[in-house]
Chains A and B, each alone.
Chain A
Amino acid sequence: MSKIAVSILGIDCPGVVYLVSGTLSALRCNIEEISQTILKGQFAAIFIAEKPDALTEDKVHSELVKAIDARDMSLSVIVRSLDEKAVYHGEPGEPFVITVDGEDGLNVVASFTRIFAENKVNIENMKALMPDVPEDQPESRRRALQVFEISLPLSIDRTALRRTLEDKARDMGLRVSMQHRDIFEAVHRVKSI
């Protein structure tokens, strides 16, 4: 048995997950893990499944496309074989949360992710939000908040990285924060510290 990664992207509607899981099941693929999200009505998911050795990725792809067309859904499919040895293993790190907020601009995400890339900091989760404007600060400008959950390699100097991020934020008229992830869990969740 080998593994495949199936990625689906397209317009969300009831039945999407059933379509994929039903097709995989009919092909005797065993789904092991799923991650899924919806953004502005767009559905995106990754399915990790075990497949019979005789089954090719192309066959899985064509069966999924056939099923999508039969139901007239608007979805794109990618099927890849999964080589667990080829997965990126960065050096051990600590989980930090970095936020960048301020006036929305063209190159905000690119500017900060470039710093991460240059420092071999892996982003494990990220989100860009448009928080509600507080009532007492009426502003017409669009404000955006980017939240990056990163793994900070132990070899990276945290203070130096913070300084680099703060310098960049200052240049762009933005605010940046960098905090160990545990503080968010400690404050909001009932678990032992």
Chain B
Amino acid sequence: MLTDREVLSTLNMLRNEHLDVRTVTLGISLFDCAAHDFDVFAYKVRAKISRYAGRLVETCNDVADKYGIPVVNKRISVSPIGVVGASFSREEMVRACRVLDEAAKNAGVDFLGGFGALVEKGMTPGERNLIDSLPEALACTDRICSSINVASSRSGINMDAVALMGQRILDVAEATRDRDGIGCAKLVVFANIPQDVPFMAGAYLGVGEPDVVINVGVSGPGVVKKAIDRAMAAGRANGGITLGEVAEVIKRTAYKVTRVGEIIGKEVADRLGLPFGVADLSLAPTPAVGDSVGEIFQSVGLSSIGAPGSTAVLAMLNDAVKKGGAFASSHVGGLSGAFIPVSEDSSIEAATRSGALSLEKLEAMTSVCSVGLDMIAIPGDTPAATISGMIADEMAIGMINSKTTAVRVIPVPGKGVGESACFGGLLGEAAIIPVPGGDASSFIRLGGRIPAPIHSLKN
């Protein structure tokens, strides 16, 4: 028999706190589709994606209906195309991207990730062709996401790739100039990319993964915020609450949210006859009010995200989410932590707009959160070397701290600081913020590799 509290609390999380499963992502290995002949490759890719993804959306919707929990996005992640299409020319990479886009549309998913490459130590000709194809490929497709891993704690930072990506990000922005450079919202540069991320734009299916697998991304910043608000109100009535208690509230709430992802992911996997991979325990915001990570900072007493103390709050939040979620799920993976994507979070966006949150503070915060500089609109005339320098800094944080970091910045063509870029939907809109001054071009031109760090003598 259920208790009143159990029923009321679940209803409340659904109706007032935006509880949902952010994404069910079907991972499909395309290694068995590799072929010298492009048409054979395209045929095999279409056939395999349609075989496994044909019932994905319908199944997710029915499971969502059964439990009364929305599954907001259904997505597909595939093997890194830089490896699958190692023999492809730049033009063939663009065609491959179109084939994937078509397959994604036929399956009815909103994004397909994996048009990417792992180049942290070096680059094959195929991977180079993929990176060179990005401006055209991301401009002529709608649903394809790309992630390029340029650094790892074991291999160091491939600074040639960092230099190249600074330029390609500008090229992608230019190729999608008419839509405020939206192509860059679908392109992320990573350090230590996990192999099983279900969230876009970083989703891909790594080389050690099963042939086909279901991964789930849970969310729920609104639920965490409301739980903290209730605890703070109760604390005020009963003589105060400490941060230790706030962390406990976050942990318990993360447990509940993750359980929702776990039950839905397992049932979708069961019904499709596929293995369940991981639950990614991330607090992923949307532009909707009340579904924001930034608002959590205000709930614990900061004037806004960006104020002194923000890095400490984020560290506590990120850790408590992992602790609560880890117990709730049989297998945890992906990014698992708090996201701070500027344009996708109304409160974080407002803080950058008002100047309360700067790019420098965002960078500091990425050293304790689960991703990095995410969905940040910067001036369209930012030099490539500056973007490369920002990437290098972020990669260094990830490499040294053995964590995932990433850069997804959008240099908005023809626009400058103070203006806004609008991407629509979940991607939101963002005020363009200034990038650090100074010149990194001579440093970036040096190229080569920054060696991997020593894994002892930790301090």
- Bind each other: yes
* Cβ contacts under 8 Å, B260 to chain A: 183, 186-187
Residue of A nearest to B1 (CB): A125
Q: Which of A145, A175, A183, A188 contacts B68 (CB 8 A)?
A: A183
- Say how far A76's CB is from chain B's closest CB, in angstroms: 25
- Is A178 at the interface (CB under 8 A from chain B)? yes
- Chain A window 161-193, contacts with chain B (Cβ cutoff 8 Å), 1 for yes, 0 for no: 010000000000001011111111111100001
- Of the listed stretches B3-11, B131-139, B178-186, name the one at the interface; the rest are far from the partner chain: B3-11
A131 in the interface (beta carbon within 8 A): yes
B8 CB contact (under 8 Å) in A131, A162, A183, A186: A131
Q: Which residues of A contact B263 (CB under 8 A)?
A: 182-183, 186, 193
CB distance from B437 to the nearest CB of A (A): 45
> Are A147 and B4 in contact, CB atoms less than 8 angstroms apart?
yes
Across the interface, do B69 and A183 meet the contact criterion of CB distance under 8 Å? Answer: yes
Bound together, the chains give a CA A193 to CA B7 distance in angstroms of 18
A179 and B68 contact, CB distance less than 8 A? yes
Residues on A with beta carbons closer than 8 Å to the beta carbon of B66? 158, 179-180
Q: Chain A contacts of B2 at CB under 8 A?
A: 97, 125, 147, 149, 181, 184-185
> Given A129-B4, A193-B262 in contact, is the A188-B9 Cβ separation under 8 Å?
yes
Give every chain A residue within 8 A of B5 (Cβ-Cβ).
188
Which of A99, A131, A175, A193 meets B266, CB within 8 Å?
Answer: A193
* B contact residues around A175 at 8 Å (CB): 15
CA distance A149 to B7 in the complex (A): 11
Residue A159 CB within 8 A of the other chain = yes
| Residues A149 and B11 in contact, CB atoms below 8 Å apart | no
Q: Is B98 on the interface with A (CB-CB < 8 A)?
A: no
Interface string of B5-42 (1 = CB under 8 A from A): 11111110111000000000000000000000000000
Q: How large is the interface on B (under 10, 10 to 19, 20 to 34, 35 or more residues)?
A: 20 to 34
Chain A residues near B11: list those with CB within 8 A: 99, 101, 177
Q: Is A188 a contact partner of B65 (Cβ separation < 8 A)? A: no
User: Would you call A188 and B6 a contact (CB within 8 A)?
Assistant: yes
Chain B residues near A187 (CB-CB < 8 A): 6, 9-10, 13, 256, 259-260
Distance between A156 CB and nearest chain B CB, rounded to angstroms = 13
Residues of B within 8 A of A149 (CB): 1-2
Inter-chain CA distance A13–B1, complex, in Å, is: 25
Given the interface contacts A97-B2, A183-B69, does A145 sit within 8 Å of B8 by beta carbon? yes
Query: Is the pair B6, A184 in contact by a Cβ cutoff of 8 Å?
Result: yes
Q: Are B4 and A127 in contact, with the CB atoms below 8 A?
A: yes
Enumerate chain A residues within 8 angstroms of B7, measured Cβ to Cβ. 97, 99, 147, 184
Q: How far is the CA of A95 from the CA of B259 in the complex (A)?
A: 19
Return A129 CB to nearest CB of chain B, in Å.
6
* Complex CA–CA separation, A162 to B2 (angstroms): 21
**Most-contacted residue by chain A among B65, B66, B262, B266 (CB, 10 A):** B66
Most buried by B among A99, A179, A186: A186
Q: What is the CA–CA distance of A145 and B4 in the complex, to the nearest angstrom?
A: 10
Could you tell me which residues of chain A, from 76 to 126, have a CB within 8 Å of some CB in chain B?
A: 97, 99, 101, 125
Closest beta carbon of chain A to B393's beta carbon, Å: 40
Q: Which residues of A contact B69 (CB under 8 A)?
A: 179, 183
| 6 cross-chain pairs, A with B, having the tightest CB-CB distances, nearest first | A179-B68, A183-B67, A186-B263, A188-B6, A186-B259, A187-B256
19 contacts between A and B (CB under 8 A): A99-B7, A101-B11, A129-B4, A129-B8, A147-B4, A149-B1, A177-B11, A179-B68, A180-B66, A180-B68, A181-B2, A182-B263, A184-B6, A187-B6, A187-B259, A187-B260, A188-B5, A188-B6, A188-B256
Beyond A175-B15, A187-B13, A193-B259, 9 extra complex contacts between A and B, CB < 8 Å: A97-B7, A101-B11, A129-B4, A178-B68, A180-B67, A182-B67, A183-B68, A187-B10, A188-B6
Which A residues lie at the B interface, using CB under 8 A? 97, 99, 101, 125, 127, 129, 131, 145, 147, 149, 158-159, 162, 175, 177-188, 193
